[in-house]
Amino acid sequence: QKEVEQNSGPLSVPEGAIASLNCTYSDRGSQSFFWYRQYSGKSPELIMFIYSNGDKEDGRFTAQLNKASQYVSLLIRDSQPSDSATYLCAGVTGGFKTIFGAGTRLFVKA
Amino acid sequence: DTEVTQTPKHLVMGMTNKKSLKCEQHMGHRAMYWYKQKAKKPPELMFVYSYEKLSINESVPSRFSPECPNSSLLNLHLHALQPEDSALYLCASSQTKGESSGNTIYFGEGSWLTVV
């Protein structure tokens, strides 16, 4: 079983819609979770981190963590074509080991 | 712009060559990482240095040899690589693990490696 799982997509949403990206993890000891955005040919760029149950909002982005269900999500409101990228979910296990999910490709149609 | 700097951005090397990838960060972070990323795949952890000591080696072949000369620098020495080692090599850093947010890793722009 993979430690961090994501639907690879592609997820296609119209401009202005809400994009919902989901991630599950297997290690109950994982405490910190991250969402990165990666454009084609570029390195991953941090969007948000979350380590408490509940929601965390930053601008158009909201991260949600449910430790009981071992579930992390990212909502992107008012999606823009510039949001089209691969979104990587990551969790920290055993201290310094940050493990990435396979990534979800998001396409925002103008 | 990222505060983790990697050089070179592109490297082409033969299978008998010896080369090095270099990484530098000036954020005062005490953990540094090497990840390898193939096309359409997530970053795959290779090595972790914590306080300049190697703390994680993910069973990486010995043709990859990491080195951490000081808290700001991280090198990856390459020797006798194979064509399948061609990938994007990402350096990253993070603070200590004392706080949950301190686990946040920040990536450099990466070094594109092609082995011919």
The span from the CA of B48 to the CA of B46, in Å, is 7
pLDDT range class, residue B81, cuts 50, 70, 90: very high
pLDDT at A28 (0 to 100) = 84
Q: Which residue in the block uniquely carries the two structure tokens 């092609």?
A: B114
pLDDT, one tens digit per residue, over A48-103 is 999 889 999 999 999 999 999 999 999 999 999 999 999 999 998 765 688 899 99
Q: In terms of CA atoms, which chain A residue is nearest residue B95?
A: A96
Chain B residues with CB under 8 Å of A88 CB are 42-43
pLDDT at B93 exceeding the cut of 80 = yes
Q: Which residue in the block uniquely carries the two structure tokens 């090497």?
A: B34
How many Cα atoms are found within 13 Å in the side-chain-facing hemisphere of B102? 12
Tokens standing for residue A27:
């290690």
Strand, helix or coil at B100? helix
The span from the CA of A93 to the CA of B97, in Å, is 11
Chain A residues with CB under 8 Å of B42 CB are 88, 100-103
pLDDT at A72 (0 to 100) = 96
CA distances from B87 to B38, B42, B84, B97, B114 (A): 5, 12, 8, 29, 7
Strand, helix or coil at B4? strand
| B12 and A CB contact within 8 Å | no
pLDDT at B98 exceeding the cut of 50 = no
Pairing of strands A19-25, A33-38: unpaired
B42/A102 touch (CB, cutoff 8 Å), yes or no:
yes
Per-residue pLDDT, averaged over A4-32, amounts to: 92
The span from the CA of A101 to the CA of A24, in Å, is 9
Strand, helix or coil at B66? strand
B97 vs B46, higher pLDDT:
B46
